[in-house]
Structure 1
Amino acid sequence: MSVNEKNLPQEAASCCQAVADLSKGSGASKASSGVRGRLRSCASLRSLLAGSALASCATGALAQQAGSAAKLFTSTEVVISSMVVGALGATLLSVLWLVRQRGNMEAETQEMRSALIDAQQQISKYQALIADKNRRIIIWDGAGSSPEFLGQLPVETGAPQQDREFLAFGRWLRPTSASELDRAIETLRGDAHSFDMVVETHRDEILEVQGRVSGGKAFVRFIALNNLRAELAELKIERERLQGSITLFHSLLDAIEQPVWRRDTTGRLTWVNHAYSDAVDATAPAQALDEGREFLGTIAREEIRAAVTPASPFHDRISTVVHGNRTIYDIVDVVATSGSAGMAIDVSEAESVREELKRTLRSHAETLDHLATPVAIFDRDRRLQFYNQAFVTLWGLGISFLDSRPDNNELLDRLRGENKLPEQLNWRSWKEDALSIYQALDTKTDLWHLPNGQTLRVIATAHPQGGATWVFENLTEQVDLETRYNTLLMVQGETIDHLSEGVAVFGPDGRLRLSNPAFRALWGVTAEQAKPGEHIRAIEDACAPSYDRADGWRRFGQMITNFDDERPSLQGTLELYSGLILDYAVTPLPNAQTMLTFVDMTASARAERALMEKNEALRRADEIKNDFVQHVSYELRSPLTNIIGFTDLLKTPGIGPLNERQAEYVDHISTSSSLLLTIVNDILDLATVDAGIMQLNYEEISIDDLLDDVAMQITDRLHENQITLEIMAPKGLGSIIADPQRLKQILLKLLTNATNFAPEGSTITLACRRNGADVFFAVSDSGPGIPEEMLSSVFNRFSSTPRGGKRSGAGLGLSIVESFVQLHKGDITIDSRPGSGTTVTCRIPSAVTFHTIAAAE
């Protein structure tokens, strides 16, 4: 609104005055112009209240009062005047209503201010009641809101005054109280679970903490207790602590292996641990209490009851029976006004250990007596308690003197008097320093240079229970060894310098310790570049023109400077740009050093490459030979089969009769063809074995049937050579799982070989026996035998020995036998002596699986 509320009455009054002037009919022109001006101002007020219900009323009033002035104004001015009068009326009413409402609002505001002052006074009163020095309240409004703090706790409680520090309970409360309070507050804010607890501060002050939820807010109040409540809280905490201690001690006593018990004033058992119940053969402590099972006998219990007093507990060893064994226990029993308690400690093992310790000490004494190092042991009175034979030999003292247990001081004086100790400028001071070991905490070590030229390292060690042990280590030989060692180092350096192998030794820091001329010559570096102290990176740079591969010197550097506890060795070969081939070795040395050695293997490597190339050529030639043999064998078998078939056809009567010579030629053709077919089949079998494609078809074979079948198939050959076959096999050999065809081939070739070398009219033997799953076949003949120098080659292919045999073959029979036996996972042996015949034995295990593929040899 553009018109100020305070000016509305004045405007309204001016408008009314203008209307009055018009109604009086003042006709002056000046007056009429003034009236028109005031009416225009009233028109502007009318426009502010346009549309109001009061506007029409005001317009009517103005129209009646301005009737007399109608002659002075036009119709337009009359309308404007009516509107101004209506607006004026509405404005007066609105002003009256606004003034009334403003008065009401001022009255209500005054009442609210009075109520606010009263509420603030009450809040201040409540805050004064709450925020005292004996309590503090923390308020949380919602899960994510910041806490509000009211009040403070006394300074002597140890509680921080700052709000942020106060919430760090672990800093001013005991750990147990702080953890319990954190959990309680978390439960209060999360699940609205109230709590009451008592907490302790680090200053041993007691606080009562109450947690409540009200109006969606969580309140935690800390109260510093007064004397009586604090005392009750302390008693409560002490009671809980004592209960926890009793429970803890019960758990501890229940977990130990020693029987523990407690009795009331009448001597009845009130508590026992598991060890007690186990000792009295009870399933649980409750059973031992219910049944009153006693650990000790009646007499022992009466002795304890008679001897024990509150001031003098019972402590003695008593034997009792536990699990059927007599055991010695160390019994401790105490009595109080509320009853008694006891514990039994098994000392049987301790007694055994004590006796074992005595035996061990005697054994150690015997061991020390056999040591080559002189040892003397003195007791707490500094008297000689033990000495070994080496001590007697070193100092040459009499046994009677040593057995008299001389004092250590007396012993030193005796040795000095016999001129056996090193000369000292101040003998008394030296002796006092030597005998100070009895008061020393650490071992003392000294060197004694004796007049006889010996050097001793004297090690004196004090005993915890008193006394001391003196050990005299003879370093004379060690000094000589060091001298010789130094000489050896010099010789070794000269030797390394004259080696043909390159040698370089590096320290753990990667710096060169030494190198020989051969190393520098192989790598083409100068003595200045490979001088001691050069880092391996500098050596790598110097050797880069000869060999610049990442797995070379860089790898050597990594191995030399690593910090692994176990340093591995490394070997390999390098080929330099110059064509030299070097065998290198990285060898860890003591003191974290590493040695590199390089050997010129150029000639050997070239020879090796030539041999490898030749071997590869031989291997390829062997493959070509096998392929050729296999191919030719298959090509030969087809025409041989045709020849054998046509030969058999010529023998049939249907073709026509043959004369005697033709029949003889046909028989020769048939025999030679069969022999050639056998050779071809043998070659094919060997080629199949070599190719690794031969399969064994396992079947369950009756051994008796196998022997009969083999004997029938060899009958013609036996008859032809006038040989008798004797089969030696016990009854009930059972069966074997093997390839029947290959097994028959093995036996037939062995028998054929035997008939070839057995003399006419003799007997060959086929023996068979069984040992578990293994079946042994042995073929023996009484032929000329095999010389010892030929036994190693009888299984070689194409190794034929026609001497003493009726027929000479291709030399494949025994080779095939060996291959088939090995396919059966068996083995073959041969026993032969010149003039005593030959025995070939095959071991064929009974197979578990029924399918095996021959592996290539």
Structure 2
Amino acid sequence: MQSTPTALALIGLLLAAWVAGAAWLMIAAGARARRADAARKAARRMVRMIDESPAIPLIVRVDGRIEASERLAGWLGLSKLPQYLGDLGGSDSARGLSAEQLAELSANVLRTQKTATPFRMELTPPGSQRSLAVRGVLADPQVSPGGAALLWVFDFSESQGELARLRAEASRAKGDFAALVGLIEAAPLPMWFRGPDARLKLVNTSYVRAVGAESAEAVVEAQIELVEAVDGLTAAQVASQAAAANTPVERVVTATIGGQRRSLRVSDLPLGAEGVAGYAVDIEEMEEQARTFRAFREAQRQMLDQLSVGVAQFGPDRRLLSANQPFRRIFAMRPGATDGIEFERLLRESREAGRTPEVRDFPAWRAERTEWFGIGEAVEEAWPLNDGTHLRIVAQPMPDGGLVLIAEDRTESLALSATRDTLLRTRTATFDSLFEALAVFAPDGHMQLWNRRFGGAWGLDQDDLEGHPTADELVAKIAPRLEQPKQAKAIGDVVRGATLDRKQTGGRVALADGRTLEIAGVPLPDGNGLLTVLDITDSQNAEAALLERAEALEAADEVKTRFLANMSYEFRVPLTSIGGFAELLEAGVAGELSAQGREYVAAILESVHRLTDQVENVLALSQSEAGLLPLAKERLDLLPFVTQVVREREAAIVEAGLSLDLRGGGTSKVEADPRQLSRALGHLLDNAIAATPEGGKILVDLSRKKDGVRIVVSDNGRGMTADELRRAREGLRIGADGKPERRQGLGIPLATQLVEAHGGTLEIVSRRGEGTFATIHLP
């Protein structure tokens, strides 16, 4: 059969449609297969997710049958999940649910099935630590038609433990909060809390008392601040700044509490978004103690500056904290050096200034001194310096790790010690070399020191003095050697008087060997007593001889007095008679005399006059030396008196061709005997006239001094040598052969005696070829 093109086309179309349908069926079948496979995988994944989920679904049908995972059996402590709800109790009381739990669960399920009311309950299988939460609802008809109940069982054992722990912590926190609130309320310092707006929300009782309010509510309501504004910032503004910076702020301010200004340390503590807490600590006592401590430290430094001992304190960091002026002076610290210098540097600078000993290895020496900071006891050293200074260094470690360094300049002390040792040795040597016997007794009566002569004076051996015997023991040893042993008690009384009574006493004792000792007790400044013993045997004998001689001299003096009285009469009477008869002859009573006879009579009268003066001088000198010169003192105007004496020698001055200058101003009066004073002044003028050659000059000067009157008689004559002046002052002396020895005239010795009899002095200065200068001093 011959096919037409149209048929072929239709066949092709048919085949193509068939192929397309087959292909579509194949594709649809593959898609359904893939969807089925995906559904199976999703179901398995869902089942697995349900098995791994923290909750297990339990379906309870109307007839009581149950459907759930075997995991639920493990949670309930059952080996296998039963088919009915009533079998969840199990046969063993230690497995499954208890009867009460099962009854409650059954009732809740029944109510849900009937009324669709959800329920919640908790189950704890007996004998198990597992806690189960059950949430029941009416099951969706797609899940289980017919009014079944769907129960979700959650294992919240861990949550339950955490919840119990949280509840315990909450209870404990509540108790702690209550205790904290009570503590804050009972706290002795003001405390407060501010909200985020920096307004007061809570204050304690101490805050209320501090601001003097009635209650905490009144403080919060009125926003009464404890602290005043400082530098324009109120307490609330400072708290806001602390909250903004989220940093605690602490400051010291003053506030009025109880009518008194107190220093407070105020702290603001940010609490995040909750607000700012604050408290104030009263530090007034601490500030007062700090002020007291500062004052004490300043007083201590001032006191240390007054000491002669240098004191410096170093801190635990080995830096200088303080040093007084003596320490700075001893170690020659620079004027600009401030506190804080290190100990090692101080030693280095002191070494450069020559204030440390010379050592070979200075770094090692300095390291050894640095170890003073770590030792547990004080160290003392002696530092001899190059300039002869001796320092005593004491290093005292402090409990805080610091060090106190004490420096004492002992140069003078050592010098005094050396001087004291020398004095002690000198005293011992002096004691031993003295002629007197000496012993020093202590207040307790023991003999401390004695010289070598002491034992010999009493006839004691050195063995008797060894062991420093007491005064009573010494007296007992001396008593047998005394002429009268009872006198030994007087020796003990002398020692006791010098040591205990502090009185100087003395006496004499006679020894059996005929010697006489004079003893004296002298109290010493150190409390001891000195007993001096002197052998006066020879002086006693000499005293007896002197007494005999004194008696003889008294007798001789009486003879001398009678001799002078007789000589005054015997000399004057013949001279008066000779002068009288010569004057009668000159007057012509015996007849007219020739020229040669008148010359003889004139010579006799002149000789009588001169001899009369010499006799008067000898008698006056003898009486003066014997202390028998009579003085009739009266008030004299000195210038007229001296003028009269000078005028009496005017003829002799003119005859010798001399000039005389008399000087004197003002009024000078003295108490003196006119006759004797004129004789003394006349002898000086006569000597000046005799010693001055023609054309010479004599000066007489009167002047008033603070201690009396001065009369000067000077000349420019030939003068005298020192030996001639000495002989002139000695005048008439008795030679070794008992005969008078004429040295010079009697004028100067007599003038000296007469001036001294008036209580004055006569000074004579003379040089050969220059003249003589005589000065009379009268009171």
The two structures have a TM-score, normalised by structure 2, of 0.46
The two structures have a TM-score, normalised by structure 1, of 0.42
Asked which structure has the greater CA Rg, the reply is 2
